[in-house]
Amino acid sequence: MLCRLSLKNIKKSIKDYAIYFFTLILGVAIFYVFNALDSQTIMMNVSSSTQELIELMMNMLSGVSVFVSFILGFLIIYASRFLMKRRNREFGVYLTLGMSKRKISLILFFETLFIGVLSLIVGLGFGVVLSQFMSLLVANMFEANLSKFTFVFSSSACIKTIIYFSIMYLIVMIFNTISVSKCRLIDLLNGSRKIEKIKLKNPYLCIIIFIISSIVLGRAYYIVVHEFLTLQEASDIMIPIAMGVFSTFFIFWSLSGLILRIVQSLKRYYYKGLNSFILREFSSKINTTVFSTTIICLMLFITICLLSACLTIKNSMNENIKKLVPADAMFSQNMNMDKYYDDFRKYGYNDLQIKNSHYTAREMFKIFDFDITSYFKDYIEVNTYATHDLTMFNTLGSKLNDIKVKFPFLEYDSMETIMKISDYNKVARFYGIKEYSLKENQYMIIADFESMIKIRDISLKNKEEINLFGHNLKPKYDSCQEGFLEMSSNHINAGIILVPDSVVDEEYLIENYLIGNYKTTDKDKITKIEDSINALGNDSKANDYLLPSGSTKLAIKEATVGLSTMVTFIGLYLGIIFLISSAAILALKELSDASDNKERFRILRKIGTDEALLNKALFREIAIFFILPLILAIVHSIFGITFAMNILEVFGNEELLPSIVVTAIFLIFIYGGYFLITYYCSKNIIKERY
């Protein structure tokens, strides 16, 4: 009997709250898809290092899943409380008929159970279908060949989804039971008839609060964009974030009072068509929804930043590889380690390795009976030098104290890397990047790590002279020049001092580099070569001699692809969940308001308002509620993204626009879709049936 009642209730309300079920199904599906990612990669032919990255990615994703389940859990609890409120009268009738509260709880229990099971089944089915498409995307990102299409089903992800969502539904049941046991009959019966008092806020107070909030918000923007380098600890960022959150709340709070006042003074506009009605509805509604509007605004803000930042990182990572990894392989060999015996002992090298450190990388390979150069089509060898007499203390010179105040976290006593100009030009020619020339008494610095460039430029601008091996050198340029030696997926060159060849004392040679291009371009053959180089580490000689450390294009590429895929998936996962959650909350709110407003629209119809005018009013009302948090979120995002790009500058930020476009497409489709569905459902609700 109770079961049948529950079923009928669901059937009755499924039309009005289709959007809620739709969101639940989407949530389940997305949860499954991202947790089933690993099963899609199993049948792909990927290297072991990629496999490790996938494992790392899955660990990250399952951590994110816990967070996601919290968000979805809140959404479900919020929504079910909402749906409960709408049915107060129904419960009131049950109670007057003599049904016990326990039985009402039981009805709700059955309902939640049905909805839960239904959404899980449909959502999982949808998720399984969706994950087939996902495997294409995954294969594409890992640049793996998906030779034949295989249907994959991840039972572990399926079980995980069921467990997580069961817990969420269980919590909802508990919440429902508590709220039923707390309610009073009179409130249930009269709930919908309660006359809402319209409180108008003091306009002057609103203006003052609005101005103060705007100033605070502006200050927060300024901090994150212009003063981010002075943020000394990670926790310092919490200050502008808190400022942003509070000012967002108060801006919405004051806007609710302000907009009505402003438009009311524009009498010509206010008394036109249904404008007065729309605005009154708006201000009466926003009064009660300042908090949720704030939450939605912030969620949208996070979504926009997350999506565009993650996509940018992915794009620029791939872009960086092309630029920053111009050669196939680079091997570096520490030399003259005994000169800095204590330092190297500290790093964990043994006595023999330190003693036997007078070979170049090529010579060292020979000792291991490996003729590396026979695999190379062409190669170069260059050296770098270092001395305790030239540290950042010396290069920064007189500006040191000013800089130290601003950047206290830098290690000022680390040795600078020194390179002969001719050696560097050899590298530059090999890489195909810009070459430089120096006069006898000049030096220059090449770097590509933005934050370090900023610091070094202060001293260079000040024409800081350095003293090296008894020579006084003046800076040729008043800023760092573009360039790098070590291949990497990011801009990590914090600065190399280029000096005239004649200045350098060979005794201070510290590292030898061997850079080459393979004869072969075949990926499998290169893998074989690099595998045999890695195998040298198992040679018994490796205890006595230090093997050159290598960074190769192939290895860097694989690591980057893994990292960028991880970042993309986490961004997509969180972004979509945030987006559908906030859109669903808005949609539910508007739909339930539409049922409340049915009466108002009926009155408007009775006094002869055109159907078109009514629909327009409804459209505008819903549009305002969807757009208002979005506008502020976009403004937040402009500064948020700028900040994120500054922080993540090692990744480069050349590719911002395409990712913003992609983010916008996501927003328009998901958020806009929810908006349209809400509008059509609301239109259905206010439609008069006779």
Partner 1 sequence: MENVLKVERIEKYYGSRSSLTKAIDNLSFEVEKGEFVAIMGASGSGKTTLLNCISTIDRVTSGHIFVDGIDVTKLKGNNLNKFRREELGFIFQDFNLLDTLTAYENIALALSIQNVSVSEIDRRIKKVAVDLDIKNILSKYPYQISGGQKQRVASARAIITNPKLVLADEPTGALDSKSARMLLERFEFLNKELDTTILMVTHDAFTASYASKVIFIKDGKIFKEIHKGDSSRKNFFDKIIDVVTLLGGDLNDAL
Q: Which residues bind partner 1 (CB under 8 A)?
A: 195-198, 267-268, 271-277, 280-281, 284, 600, 603-613, 690
Element (H, E) at 508: none
Hey, what are 455's tokens? 């610091």
Shortest distance, CB of residue 34 to partner 1, whole angstroms? 44
- For partner 1, the closer of residues 186 and 198 by Cβ is 198
Read off φ and ψ for residue 499, nearest 5 degrees.
-130, 160
Which of residues 203 and 273 has its CB atom nearest to partner 1 in the complex?
A: 273
Shortest Cβ 602–partner 1 spacing (Å): 8
**Which residue's CB is nearer to partner 1, number 247 or number 256?**
256
The rounded distance, in Å, linking the Cα atoms of 316 and 185 is 61
- Give the nearer residue to partner 1 in terms of CB position, either 148 or 197: 197
CA pair distance 594, 19, nearest whole angstrom: 14
Q: If residue 52 lies in a helix (H) or strand (E), which one and from where to where?
A: helix 48-86
Question: Closest by alpha carbon to 418, among 464, 453, 386, 383?
Answer: 386
Residue written as token pair 């000792």 = 367
In the complex, minimum distance from the CB of residue 276 to partner 1, in angstroms, rounded to a whole number:
5
Per the CB < 8 A criterion, the answer to whether 652 and 319 are in contact is: yes
- In the complex with partner 1, the residue whose CB is nearer, 257 or 483, is 257
Count the residues in the chain: 690
Least Å distance between CB 608 and partner 1?
Answer: 3
One-letter identity of residue 276: S
Paired tokens of 254: 């004051």
Q: 3-class SS at 354?
A: helix
Question: What minimum distance in Å lies between the beta carbon of 189 and partner 1?
Answer: 18
Helix H or strand E encompassing 487 = none
CA distance 275 to 667: 28
Least distance in angstroms from the C-beta of 304 to partner 1: 33
Contact yes or no for 254/210 (Cβ under 8 A): yes
Which residue lies nearer to partner 1 by CB, 312 or 597?
597
Nearest to partner 1 of 286, 632 (CB atom) = 286
CB nearer to partner 1: give 42 or 200: 200
Is the distance from CB of 300 to CB of 629 less than 8 angstroms? yes
Question: Considering only CA atoms, which of 670, 682, 668 is closest in space to residue 590?
Answer: 682
Least spacing, CB of residue 603 vs partner 1, in Å: 5
Q: Which is nearer to partner 1, 568 or 597 (CB)?
A: 597
CB of 609 to partner 1, least distance (A): 5
State the minimum distance, in angstroms, from the CB of residue 198 to partner 1: 5
Which lies closer to partner 1 via its Cβ, residue 257 or residue 326? 257
Measured CA to CA in angstroms, residue 243 lies from 18, 212, 218, 267, 644 at distances of: 37, 11, 10, 36, 17
Which residue number, 106 or 686, has a Cβ lying nearer to partner 1?
A: 686
Distance of CA 203 to the CA centre of its chain: 39
Question: Strands across the sheet with 442-446, in order?
Answer: 466-468, 471-475, 442-446, 496-499, 417-420, 376-385, 509-518, 329-334, 549-552
What DSSP line would sit under 462-473, residue for residue? Answer: TT--EEETTEEE
| Least gap, CB of 618 to partner 1 (angstroms) | 15
Least Å distance between CB 247 and partner 1?
Answer: 28
Using alpha carbons, select from 51, 31, 74, 105 the residue that is nearest to residue 582.
74
CB 275 to partner 1: min, Å: 7
* Shorter beta-carbon distance to partner 1: residue 204 or 690: 690
* Helix residue ranges per DSSP H, 536-607: 553-606
For residue 11, give the H/E element and its range. Answer: helix 2-13
